[in-house]
Amino acid sequence: MAGEPRRPLVAFEAEDLGHDDQVVLPRLTLALYPDERIALLGPSGAGKSTLLGALRLRLGDAAAWCPQQHGLVPQLAVYHNVYMGRLAEHSALANLWNLVRPLAGPWRQVAELCESLGLAGLLRRPVGQLSGGQRQRVAIARALYQQRELFLGDEPVASVDPHQALRLLGLIEARHTTTVIALHQRELALSHFDRVWGLRDGQLVIDAPAQQLTLADLDGLYPDADTLAASPQEETAPQMPDPEALPCARGRP
Ligand SMILES: Nc1ncnc2c1ncn2[C@@H]1O[C@H](COP(=O)(O)OP(=O)(O)OP(=O)(O)O)[C@@H](O)[C@H]1O
């Protein structure tokens, strides 16, 4: 007997997404299903953060959030920055006390998390004294500490080497079966994720299983790739991907 059709966690139906009165992604149609690992690709300014912001709004407390600029407080220690992921769960008094004298339970949990992220021994260090890659891992630790069902990340593995990127994605996925992660590593998008969403010029031009895509499909998202691939005569006319050729319409298996 055929099972029930899967219900999306979030669906946009021809919706305009943007900021105030500026529409960035006009008439977007898109659905996020449970247990999918989505790679969100597109050139700078394509609307990846805008889409993640809209998903965040829809998903509310169900989604852990790892922002692009990390949102860390440089003067505060690693421990306090990670603890902030669950600030709202404690009373103001407990939070104040914790600032002066860390609470035993949260300290243990944050220490374990930081150890798994290669941040052992840095819990008392102000975030402002960390390297870019270390800060990125603190931001991931804070999102993991939120203990939510889904994970939304805006380039959470941008500042680390490919080996570490895989390790970090593994840690994220061990705690969340549904993830939407913006990234620029196209190979990683194909090798590691279930599905790719590709944005270009305000349109969702790719929405397809990763295994049905090639690097050439993803290259089509980036205007620079067109220019590099073009012959000298074609250089002045950057090409838009042919909508018919792009895999946006390829369905879910
Ligand atoms: N808070 C905001 N208010 C108004 N416009 C914004 C805001 N944030 C982004 N934009 C605009 O929305 C468009 C899409 O930006 P967005 O940050 O979503 O792109 P992106 O794909 O995440 O880019 P990047 O890879 O550089 O982070 C851009 O034109 C940007 O200027």
pLDDT in tens, 170-224: 999 999 999 999 999 999 999 999 999 999 999 999 999 999 999 999 999 988 6
Residues in contact with ligand 1 (CB, 6 Å cut-off): 19, 22, 24, 42, 44-50, 68
Give the percent of the chain with pLDDT over 70: 84
201 lies in some domain: yes
- Cα separation, 176 vs 64, in Å, equals 9
The CA distances from residue 68 to 20, 22, 193, 209, in Å, are 20, 21, 19, 25
Residue 2 lies in a domain: no
Helices 104-116 and 132-145 cross at an angle (nearest 10°) of 130
- CA 155 to ligand 1 center in whole angstroms: 14
Q: What is the ipTM metric for this complex?
A: 0.96
Q: Tell whether 212 is covered by a domain.
A: yes
Return the CATH number at 168: 3.40.50.300
Distance of CA 82 to the CA centre of its chain: 18
- Confirm whether 5 is domain-assigned: no
210 occurs within a structural domain: yes
Q: Which atom of ligand 1 is nearest to the CA of 184?
A: 25
Q: State the Cα angle at 58 between 54 and 60, rounded to 5°.
A: 110
Domain presence at residue 40: yes
Residue 76 lies in a domain: yes
The pTM score is: 0.83
Note down the domain range covering 234: 10-249
| Number of domains into which the chain is organized | 1
Q: What spacing in Å lies between the alpha carbon of 85 and ligand 1's midpoint?
A: 24
Q: Tell me what pLDDT residue 70 has.
A: 72
Query: Which residue, by CA, sits nearest to atom 29 of ligand 1?
Result: 45
In a domain, 3, yes or no: no
Atom of ligand 1 nearest to the CA of 51: 18
Q: Which residues on neighbouring strands pair with residue 126, listed in sequence order?
A: 77
